[in-house]
Copies of this chain bind each other. A is one copy, B any other.
Amino acid sequence: MQLVIAQSNFTVGAIDKNCQQIIADVEKSPENALVVFPELALTGYPPEDLLLRPDLYKRLDFALEQIAAISHGKAVVVGHPFQENGLIYNAASVYADGKLLARYFKQALPNYGVFDEKRYFAAGSHAVSFDYQGKRIGLLICEDLWDDQPIAHYDGLNIDVIVSLNASPFNLEKQLEREALIKKRAVNHSVAIVYANQVCGQDELVFDGASFVVNRSGELVCRLHQCQEDFAVLDFADAFTQTRIEVLADCEEAEIYQALVLATRDYVNKNGFKGAVLGLSGGIDSALTLAVAVDAIGAERVQAVMMPFKYTAQMSVEDAKAQAQAMNVEFDIVSIEPMFDAFMQALDPMFSGTQKDTTEENLQARSRGVILMALSNKKGRIVLTTGNKSEMAVGYCTLYGDMAGGFAVIKDVPKTMVYKLANYRNTLGKVIPERVITRPPSAELAPDQVDQDSLPPYDDLDAILEAYVENDLSIADIVSLGYDETIVRKVVRLVDINEYKRRQSAIGPKVTQRNFGKDRRYPITSGFGREH
Contacts and interface: CB of A to CB of B under 8 A. Distances in A.
Interface in A385-404: 399-400, 404
Given A350-B375, A522-B49, A527 B332 contact: no
A270 interface: yes
A447 interface: no
B357 A377 contact: yes
Contact of A400 (B11, B400, B526): B400
A203 B346 contact: no
A366 B370 contact: yes
A17 interface: yes
Nearest to A346: B334
A351 B349 CA distance: 33
A507 interface: yes
A523 B47 contact: yes
B339 A267 contact: no
Interface in A314-363: 332, 334-336, 338-339, 341-343, 345-347, 349-351, 354, 357-359, 362-363
A203 B14 contact: no
Contact of A504 (B15, B477, B505): B505
Contacts of A527: 11-18, 44, 270
A343 B531 contact: no
A12 B522 CA distance: 10
Given A347-B334, A377-B359, A528 B342 contact: no
Contact of A374 (B52, B112, B336, B362): B362
A373 B398 CA distance: 10
A400 to B, nearest CB: 4
Given A53-B474, A506-B504, A525 B266 contact: yes
Interface string A511-522: 000000000111
A350 B119 CA distance: 47
Contacts of A48: 521-523
Nearest to A49: B521
A354 B528 CA distance: 51
Given A371-B347, A525-B12, A528-B14, A54 B362 contact: no
A18 B531 CA distance: 11
A138 interface: no
Copies in the complex: 2
Contact of A520 (B49, B54, B339, B346): B49
A465 B486 CA distance: 51
A500 interface: yes
Contacts of A363: 370, 374
B14 A530 contact: yes
Interface string A1-42: 000000000011111111000000000000000000000000
A338 B346 contact: yes
A270 B343 CA distance: 31
Contacts of A507: 503, 524
A530 B477 CA distance: 50
A529 interface: yes
Q: In which size bucket is the chain A interface? A: 35 or more
A529 to B, nearest CB: 7
A177 interface: no
Contacts of A53: 472, 474, 528
Nearest to A109: B118
Interface string A467-508: 000001010110000000000000000000000100111110
A349 B330 CA distance: 13
Nearest to A501: B406
A2 to B, nearest CB: 31
A367 interface: yes
17 contacts: A12-B525, A12-B527, A14-B527, A15-B528, A17-B531, A47-B523, A55-B472, A111-B118, A350-B375, A357-B378, A362-B374, A363-B374, A369-B400, A370-B370, A406-B500, A504-B504, A507-B524
Given A49-B521, A118-B118, 13 more contacts: A12-B528, A13-B529, A16-B531, A48-B523, A55-B472, A55-B474, A58-B474, A59-B531, A266-B525, A347-B374, A359-B374, A366-B400, A370-B370
